A and B are shown apart, each in its own frame.
Chain A
Amino acid sequence: MTDLNPVRNPLLAWRMIEGEVVVISPEDSSVHELNETASFIWNALNGERTSAEIAALLSKEYDVVPEEALAHTQELIVSLQEKKLLLVTQEVGSGEHV
């Protein structure tokens, strides 16, 4: 499994409302609502943490096994990247750029 280094799209609008993140895409104005764990991951995206580091935080916060937390984190990151809500600037370890 590669380690992703994601950062939020700086042009999007988002807000944490009642514990859940709402994101508006700058591409097509679509509105996205993240559930509690996805919101936790979103809030952990500070532009410096890798997906593995975020998964470790998720594992600790929600008491899930690290492998499951990493799979969940990376799945979400890929999904948000496809929607252009995240920019994945590099892959640490593989030496490739996404």
Chain B
Amino acid sequence: MSDTPVMDRLIARTVERQIPLNVHLDLTYRCNERCVHCYLDHEDYGELTTAEAKDILDQLAAAGTLFLTLSGGEIFLRKDFFELLAYARRLAFDLSLKTNALLIDTERAARLRQLGVRRIQISIYSADPAVHDAITKVRGSLARSIRAIHFLKSQGLQVKIACPLMKQNLMGYRSVQKLAEELDVPYILDLTITPKMDGDVGVLEMRSSGRDLLPVLQDPLFHPSANGSPEGTKSARPTGSSVSSGVEVELYHDIPCSAGHNSCYISPYGDVYPCVQMPMPTGNLRHQKFEEVWYGSSAMRQVRAIRESQLPLCASCSIRKYCERCPGLAQMEGGDLLAPYERACELAELNARLAGVENPVSAFHQQQKAQADRSMLPVKVANPGLVQIVPITANQLGGQW
């Protein structure tokens, strides 16, 4: 985002006043791709009607939402998509879209331009069609997405490539960087693979292990800003979360992120969550007004109360500054908004090691080790005079090592 001082003031004000500056609205979970890592259920269980969606847009505008991200599923599968987009334009939102772009042709690209869409994020998994199409499970999808990028660029629209990295495409990140350069668009590489919204964690099998990530994280091309690329160039800060809503700052003092403070997520069924990565239901806009949910929900207030300095274990972690702990993932992966979770600790230790920290161990892993060590202390058994050593392995403890 440009104009950082103005944006910083805006974010500070909206966090302080709890104004929902930034909203991510999924219009559908239906999709014309079947990506292997996707966290969504693509069945339609009764999406918001056109009238319901317009009413929500009215409410968001009145509540102070400026940045609106429309996503899915695949948004172009909604027959009323352009009607909703035109409605959002009249309400003067700053409009961003997330799409696979398969359904964007020259005419639709022109309409997006006419409707003042400012940014369009498109998922590209590899420059190799075999890899990309195997992830999307749609033959020819890479070629179609790239063709759409050309259509959008020819209209002068801002396009960004988002590339979630997983086992299937991890080592293809350089090809995505090269493709982005050829297309003259910025890109984001994302290591986040989340559990499905119904809680199924099977999709986490797609994640690359820490051992596999190490050479990638060591690659200066993966961190071009640390390698001398000036800030503001297309390749600066290419990593992050492609799921997050778009207003990316490091301004949130002692709060983990914007979720529930000045941003939230709304599902195609009207459910309101603090973030798309934090599926804690806080209310439903078919039965409640947005402001009632935003200001009145106890779950939303619970999320707002999280302070990094008060996290039970993480606050005392010696490698905290290398950690990108997400409260939503903590909830989804560990069942506790406030607790550490394995993936965050694993990545924090990797990052700390790369930064030169000797033998970095997270507070969570130290605790697990201490518990395991205690379990291996001599244990007195019933027969006095006899002492038996009872070793217990980490696997028996159920801990993740």
In whole angstroms, how far apart are the Cα atoms of A17 and B18 in the complex? Answer: 11
Q: Are B2 and A30 in contact (CB under 8 A)?
A: yes
Give residues of chain B (66-123) contacting chain A, Cβ–Cβ below 8 Å.
66, 89, 92-95, 116, 118
Cβ contacts under 8 Å, B2 to chain A: 28-31
Cβ contacts under 8 Å, B3 to chain A: 30-32
Q: Are B92 and A29 in contact (CB under 8 A)?
A: no
Surface stretch bound by B, among A6-14, A51-59, A60-68, A69-77: A6-14
How near does chain B come to A39, taking the closest CB pair, in angstroms?
14
Answer whether residue B177 sits at the interface, using C-beta atoms and an 8 A cutoff: no
Chain B positions 1 through 25: 1 when the CB is less than 8 Å from some CB of chain A, otherwise 0: 1110011011001100101010000
Q: Are B92 and A14 in contact (CB under 8 A)?
A: yes
Answer whether residue A78 sits at the interface, using C-beta atoms and an 8 A cutoff: no
Q: Are B92 and A13 in contact (CB under 8 A)?
A: yes
In whole angstroms, how far apart are the Cα atoms of A12 and B94 in the complex? Answer: 7
Closest to B14 in A: A17
Answer whether residue B145 sits at the interface, using C-beta atoms and an 8 A cutoff: no
Answer whether residue B282 sits at the interface, using C-beta atoms and an 8 A cutoff: no
In whole angstroms, how far apart are the Cα atoms of A14 and B68 in the complex? Answer: 12
How near does chain B come to A68, taking the closest CB pair, in angstroms?
27
Cβ contacts under 8 Å, B263 to chain A: none
In whole angstroms, how far apart are the Cα atoms of A26 and B119 in the complex? Answer: 10
Cross-chain contact of B118 among A10, A16, A18, A26 (Cβ < 8 A)? A26
Cβ contacts under 8 Å, B6 to chain A: 22, 31-33
How near does chain A come to B130, taking the closest CB pair, in angstroms?
36
Could you tell me the dominant secondary structure of chain A's interface residues?
A: strand
Cβ contacts under 8 Å, A32 to chain B: 3, 6
Answer whether residue A15 sits at the interface, using C-beta atoms and an 8 A cutoff: yes
Closest to A11 in B: B116
In whole angstroms, how far apart are the Cα atoms of A13 and B68 in the complex? Answer: 10
Answer whether residue A44 sits at the interface, using C-beta atoms and an 8 A cutoff: no
Answer whether residue A80 sits at the interface, using C-beta atoms and an 8 A cutoff: no
Q: Are B118 and A29 in contact (CB under 8 A)?
A: yes
Closest to A14 in B: B92
Answer whether residue B65 sits at the interface, using C-beta atoms and an 8 A cutoff: yes
Given A13-B66, A31-B6; 12 other pairs, CB 8 A cutoff: A10-B116, A13-B92, A13-B116, A15-B65, A15-B66, A15-B92, A18-B13, A24-B66, A26-B118, A28-B2, A29-B118, A30-B2
Write the residues of chain A forming the contact surface with B, with a CB cutoff of 8 angstroms.
10-18, 22, 24, 26, 28-33
29 chain-A/chain-B pairs, Cβ below 8 angstroms: A10-B116, A12-B116, A13-B93, A13-B94, A13-B116, A14-B66, A15-B66, A15-B92, A16-B64, A17-B10, A17-B13, A17-B14, A17-B21, A17-B64, A17-B66, A18-B17, A18-B19, A22-B6, A24-B66, A24-B94, A26-B118, A29-B2, A29-B118, A30-B2, A31-B2, A31-B6, A32-B3, A32-B6, A33-B9
A-B interface, 8 closest residue pairs, ranked by CB to CB distance from nearest: A13-B94, A11-B116, A31-B3, A15-B66, A31-B6, A33-B6, A24-B94, A14-B92
